[in-house]
Amino acid sequence: MAQAKSNKVADKVVATEKQSSASDSYTNFKPYEASKNEEYMNPRQLEHFQNILLEWKRELMEKVDETVHHMQDDSGNIPDPNDRASQESDFTMELRTRDRERRLIKKIESSIKHLDDDEYGFCGNCGEEIGIRRLEARPTADLCIDCKTLDEIREKHISH
């Protein structure tokens, strides 16, 4: 925990900007350095990913909170109907973003649950190791790259 906090402030700012919208990736952490022959998902790795997930969730929840306050402050104060309309479409956009963030928070919560159940880091389909680097790129990943690829191909076939 102390390691992550000791990062330079500048690094933190850049990372926060990169994931300003609700995306599946979170970059505000130091990549894990595995030692030789280290066991996959040993306690140190689990702690690493738990920190990432908890911090990511905390940031998202802060953003959701900010929007709620922002909307409470601004609404009901605009006499011009045109302004009101444009403000409302801003709100709609923002609500959509918050909605995505809430869904992402749910995903993060289910990943945290997987950590507690010792299922985190293993493919939910074939049981293979997902891999540290892939998990760092997508901390909520619950499929290995092979199964994910197959999944996406299948989805494409269904939606076209």
Contact footprint for Zn ion (CB under 5 A): 123, 125-126, 128, 144, 147
Q: Where are the beta strands (DSSP E) in the chain?
A: none
- Closer by beta carbon to Zn ion, 101 or else 142: 142
Least distance in Å: CB of 158 to Zn ion?
19
- Closer by beta carbon to Zn ion, 126 or else 137: 126
Least distance in Å: CB of 124 to Zn ion?
8
Least distance in Å: CB of 73 to Zn ion?
47
Distance CA 100, CA 110 (A): 15
- Closer by beta carbon to Zn ion, 85 or else 126: 126
Q: Is 80 exposed, middle or buried (0-12, 13-18, 19+ CB in 10 A)?
A: exposed
Distance CA 95, CA 159 (A): 26
Given a contact cutoff of 8 angstroms between Cβ atoms, the answer to whether 4 and 59 are in contact is no
Given a contact cutoff of 8 angstroms between Cβ atoms, the answer to whether 156 and 148 are in contact is no
- Closer by beta carbon to Zn ion, 1 or else 126: 126
Least distance in Å: CB of 67 to Zn ion?
36
CA dihedral over 79, 83, 87, 88, signed as positive or negative? positive
Distance CA 120, CA 135 (A): 10
Least distance in Å: CB of 146 to Zn ion?
5
Q: Is 129 helix (H, G, I), strand (E, B) or coil?
A: strand
- Closer by beta carbon to Zn ion, 123 or else 132: 123
